[in-house]
Amino acid sequence: ILILVYWADILKKYFHPGARRSVPMYTFFALVGVLLLFELANLVLFLSMVYSTEAMILYNAVLLAVVSLVCVCEITIFSHRFRTVLQTLGAINQ
């Protein structure tokens, strides 16, 4: 997740040079905080016996799958953008 946040910051610098950029570590901590809130909600629901151990494991598996899917999609998008930036820089240097 941290790498994706830094890639987004780098690409924002190249694609939107005048835009105000955020601090990547703050963005990373915000995303990790949201994930921790989801896990805390899972723990509270489990400890209050709303659901069983199997449901808790399923919740964690679904959360991991969603986070992984989002990361894969973002990496794909950022890779295409980086390729565009590198092709442009290559054309400028020739």
Where does 16-52 have alpha helices with state H?
24-47
Mean pLDDT by 10 residues, the chain (94 residues): 82 78 86 95 94 93 94 87 82 81
Q: What pLDDT score does 38 carry? A: 95
For helices 2-15 and 53-93, angle between their N-to-C axes, nearest 10 degrees = 30
Query: Tokens 């105000």 correspond to what residue?
Result: 20
Q: Which residues contact 59 (CB under 8 A, 6 or more apart)?
A: 42, 45, 51
Query: Tokens 């990496």 correspond to what residue?
Result: 75
Instruction: Output the CA torsion 9→13→14→18 (10° steps).
Output: 150
Q: What pLDDT score does 63 carry? A: 95
